[in-house]
Amino acid sequence: MLKMGEQQVQELLDEQFPQLNIGGRCFFIDWIKKGEAMLRLKADERHLRPGGTVSGPAMMSLSDYAAYVLILAELGPVALAVTTSLNINFLSKPAPGDILAHVKILKSGRRLVVVEVDITSNGNDNLVAHATATYSIPPVKSLV
């Protein structure tokens, strides 16, 4: 059973990271269920690189954000969980527009959580990037 739903996770993120919404909200939680979630980056001009494609840093941000959202949903309000590793492979050029991140937990331990993120362009099932991330989970006493 999830410890936090989509709305609870979004409220925590809005409270803890208000800077994410400067210039307008761009990250959205489509759904969360046990062990996986789907997130969306509504890519606009600030996310594009020359040539009109979504930038690598934007896809890395989406990957990290998706991992964090799923970890919060699974473990509860562990705002101090931090990324210890993020590896991404860019596989093809995404078109401008919405970018989707399907994130899944690969392994969840007492101190580390490992996830993988498949990134696609909206309306196309071909991967544009694949990421793995490891998060360090703080001791229980440091929960928000």
**Class for domain 6-142, per CATH?**
alpha beta
- pLDDT tens track for 109-118: 999 999 999 9
Tokens of 36: 């996986």
Where along the chain do its domains lie?
6-142
Query: For 137, what's the count of Cα atoms within 13 Å in the CB-facing half-sphere?
Result: 18
Which tokens hold the place of 54? 């979504």
What is residue 141's predicted lDDT score, i.e. its pLDDT? 57
Confidence of residue 143 (pLDDT cuts 50, 70, 90): very low
- Per-residue model confidence (pLDDT) at position 61: 96
For residues 123-144, give the mean pLDDT.
Answer: 84
**34-57 tens-digit pLDDT:** 999 999 999 998 898 888 899 999
54 DSSP β-pair partners: 48
What pLDDT, on a 0 to 100 scale, did the predictor assign at position 20?
A: 87
For residue 97 the two structure tokens come to 């527009």
Task: Find residue 134's DSSP bridge partners.
Answer: 85, 114
pLDDT reading at 139 higher than 90: no
Tokens of 57: 């840093």
How much is the average pLDDT of 3-20?
94
Neighbours of 83 (CB within 10 A): 14
Distance, CA of 103 to CA of 134 (rounded, Å): 12
51-110 tens-digit pLDDT: 889 999 999 999 999 999 999 999 999 878 999 999 999 999 998 889 999 999 999 999
